[in-house]
Amino acid sequence: MMKSFLSTTLDFAFPWACGLCGTGDTKLRSGAFCCDCQQQLTRPIENSCQRCAAEVGRFVATSDGCVHCRKSRLKFDSVTCLGMYDEAMRRVILSSKWSFSAVGITALAQLFASAAGDRLKQLDVDLIVPIPQSWQKRIVRRFNSAQVVSEVLSKTINVPHDVHILRRRRNVRPQKRVPVQQRMQNQQDAFRIRDAHLLAGKRILVVDDVMTTGATCNEAVRMLRSHGAKACHVAILARVLDGSA
């Protein structure tokens, strides 16, 4: 009774609007987004690369990777994503990153959890580790998107997540400002591990918001493996296929 009174009052004070197109028509509502926008954000991908999750042509074989990843030495076992970093995804992620609240990223993470929860459960991981933010980002942003996604996935697949085990060691130049060819090098030694004993023989799921070249996740996975992690999978909201993020 109290709860419904409260939610009615809140709805009145902050009427619902779709997190992407802004429509306030509650008949179209499907969670945080309207049905159309939700459909765009969860567009099924017919064929994606087995190594890096990039969307590829229908008949392209990807057991040895694809045009987006073949030249990279990727150290993770698999990548799971909600979708490609297309216009809809880009708008929600960018506006959420600079927002005061984590509502937008949480909504995307929940869509991701419903779409990919079963696949993530099958990976049979023991621990979820979000990519930490650099201190510059911590100053200007209210929250770490990777941590928000990791929290939602942790509840969905019922696996603990640890936000302390992976730490930033040095401040790398923001990947966005580094040419794509130099991004792997830019991330070298970006992380350090705390409580390494927790990693021995463990299967880890590394979580970030977006992945472009894979350099950040790759370096995190390199560190986790060098401290005894047995398997390392990656989960991201969106796979970026150019240098735009």
Rg (CA), the chain: 18
We find the least distance from the C-beta atom of residue 23 to Zn ion, in angstroms, to be 5
We find the least distance from the C-beta atom of residue 214 to Zn ion, in angstroms, to be 9
DSSP string computed for 116-152: HHHHHHHT--SEEEEPPPPHHHHHH-SS-HHHHHHHH
The structure tokens listed for 138 are 């911590």
Q: Nearer Cβ to Zn ion, position 227 or 239?
A: 239
Look at the block and give the residue holding tokens 């890096």. Answer: 52
DSSP string computed for 21-34: T----GGGEETTEE
Q: Nearer Cβ to Zn ion, position 34 or 105?
A: 34
Give the Cα separation of 194 and 223 in Å (integer). 11
Look at the block and give the residue holding tokens 């918001």. Answer: 209
Give the Cα separation of 226 and 222 in Å (integer). 6
**Given the rule CB under 5 A, which residues bind Zn ion?**
18, 20-21, 34, 37, 49, 51-52, 54, 65-66, 68-69
- Environment class of 45 (CB within 10 Å of its CB; exposed 0-12, middle 13-18, buried 19+): middle
Give the Cα separation of 181 and 185 in Å (integer). 9
We find the least distance from the C-beta atom of residue 182 to Zn ion, in angstroms, to be 19
Q: Nearer Cβ to Zn ion, position 69 or 237?
A: 69
We find the least distance from the C-beta atom of residue 70 to Zn ion, in angstroms, to be 7
We find the least distance from the C-beta atom of residue 34 to Zn ion, in angstroms, to be 3
We find the least distance from the C-beta atom of residue 77 to Zn ion, in angstroms, to be 14
Q: Nearer Cβ to Zn ion, position 41 or 166?
A: 41
Q: Nearer Cβ to Zn ion, position 49 or 89?
A: 49
Q: Nearer Cβ to Zn ion, position 66 or 92?
A: 66
